[in-house]
Amino acid sequence: STGHSAKIITILEAKCRKRPEFQIIREANIQKCIYWNPSKKTFDNADTDCRERGSFLITLRTTAEKDLIFKISPFNIIWIGLDDRKVEGSWVWHDDLRPVKNVESIISFDEESIKLADLADCSFMWRLYGPIIIITFCYSEIQFVCEIK
């Protein structure tokens, strides 16, 4: 025997390999297929850009995912696929569009963002604040990350 160890390739990896701009990131039990898009765009335009690539703006449901993306992101600020543009106060993740329960556990509402909550319908992560998701105005132009599931 030559001692070859078979490398198991996941379905996500196989999908990801077909898309040269996307890459697999892995840590512990997290596996994501993402594209770091260096263009600065409004939330709507970033959302459209990702959809045209057969993907969506990145979803970061867990603290571990937030920590990982924060740690490896080449950008200071990135759009997150979480918004309440359709129904005020009903935040949805872009990968399944189901309303998020207990959004306070996902978004960090400081005094400033509580004041903005009715006007600011989009969310982002900013290195300055740490690995947390913050709300902001959708017309800001920032970099973003697309994800394939």
Question: Can you give the CATH number for the domain in which 106 is found?
Answer: 3.10.100.10
Q: Quick check: is 127 in a domain?
A: yes
Q: Quick check: is 13 in a domain?
A: no
User: How many domains is the chain partitioned into structurally?
Assistant: 1
Three-state DSSP class for residue 89: coil
Residue 104 lies in domain: 35-148
pTM higher than 0.85 = yes
Joined tokens for residue 105: 């556990």
pLDDT digits (tens, 9 = 90+) for 58-106: 999 989 999 999 999 999 999 999 999 998 889 999 999 888 888 887 8
Question: Does residue 139 surpass a pLDDT of 90?
Answer: yes
Q: 146: closest CA among 34, 25, 23? A: 34
Q: Quick check: is 65 in a domain?
A: yes
Joined tokens for residue 91: 């935040």
pLDDT digits (tens, 9 = 90+) for 122-138: 999 998 888 989 888 99
Q: Quick check: is 106 in a domain?
A: yes
